[in-house]
Structure 1
Amino acid sequence: MKKIALWGATWVLLVVVLLLPPIVVVTEALKSGLLASLATLKDPDGIAAIWLTLETTVVAVCFNTLCGILAAWLLTKYRFPGRAALLVMVELPLSISPVVSGLVWLLLFGAQGWWGPALERAGIHVAFAVPGIMLATLFVTLPYVVRTLVPYMEHQGRDTEEAAALAGAGFWQILLRVTLPDARVALFSGVLLTTARAMGEFGAVSVVSGHIPGLTETMPLHIESLYNGYQTVAAFTMAALLACMAMAAVFLRSAPAAWARYREVQE
């Protein structure tokens, strides 16, 4: 009886917390019909928001994947003074509110910030411009590749890498041909988590972007602008598109494990 009650409570929780919100979003988006919903996506500001979100996501994923791989290698293959502090710093974006991190970038690069006036005199705009959005997104998505790679690399040990080094392989050969092929599932998971977070980031980006329609509005910011402007169908349509993009990344994350189980069953 307890098992059935626990099973039922779990499913109720999953439906209410995980399934109901996207269902409501899609229902509201289609309230006026599919054609009306799709027509809202032709808005120039909406198209600009989609492209800015994709560009920001690509930059964040590429940069943080490379930095995450190198940081995970450093943290797992070497022991050095300050290693524990570096691990804490990597986790910092997960514990700090995104709004606070956005305020920090504004303090540094805003018109009244530490470096903002000098940069603006040089014609470089960071706050209330695309570079500020990029910096804010890079910060909040920094930990994911590192967090997924570190446990796996620690489990790997160093035997195969030391053998490759004795055979004359260089750093990049060892990394690309020995370490990463074994850690590809963990790396793939970290990349997809970074992708999903970059697409959906709101707090930090909201602070540094200035909410300029068509210029510095990402999809989450554009959704807020549409909803505040009582454009409900357009807001929920954009929200449904963003949710589908993020959920696709999350579902892809489970694909390698599902494929491995399928291979085991077939064998």
Structure 2
Amino acid sequence: MTEGPMAAAFLAVIGGASLLAVTARRLHANDDLPSLGGWALADRSLGTVWTWLRLGGTIFTAYTFAAVPGLVYGNGAPAFFALPYTVIVCPLAFVLLPRMWSVARDHGYVTAADFVRGRYGSAPLALVVALTGILATMPYLALQLLGIRAVLTAGGLPAVAIGLFTRRLHHRALLAGWAAGMVFGTVMVVRGGFSPVVPLGLPGHSPEIYAGLAALILNLAVALAGTAVLDRIGTPRGTDSTTLPPGPTVRNRPGTGASSA
């Protein structure tokens, strides 16, 4: 009964998007091939309004309106993780993303992996950050793999988030932490039936923990310990090409004399 309207709606969306693309091409003919930054970031020319609309499309997706309500209906209270998740992520985004935007604009970076390579001078570390980001989008589409997504999301977080403020962690220690967190978190999730909340496996009454948090804690512990060992034995670090200040910068706004972080 519903297959006909669904097919019609699908064809209408595909046809409308194709027509819009062809029209835009004819109105703005250009034989030059777009750069990666132009294709991915619209030549860094999106203003406040378009960025706000894109954020709306990113946040309020089918996952918000269909997947999470379906998980609530099927599993009950555990699905309410989406509420504290959003509350925690938004402040972190306001702390990290403006700094990421600033350094990406100054150095022409397009992805988080570009920043990691420039910050630590390590191509392997940038590669694992890029692969982690790509792999993390796949379980996002399937709720039964939500635990794996949590582990993947936590995998590249230390290299990016901590690297925005300090370069004290050694890139080889970060690689070791990433590997340890990924292996440990994946094993826990698989043993727990791909649930995002898994038992720690301690003797007796084993407490439960969010799989991504457990992987992140191990990741950071190995990275910190590995950095101490590598610095102790004098292992060289990569070259930092980002010239990022060690903390939030304070500068005067033009014409007002007010300062902004």
- Structure number with the bigger relative contact order (C-alpha 8 A, sep ≥ 6) is 1
Give the TM-score taking structure 2 as reference length: 0.23
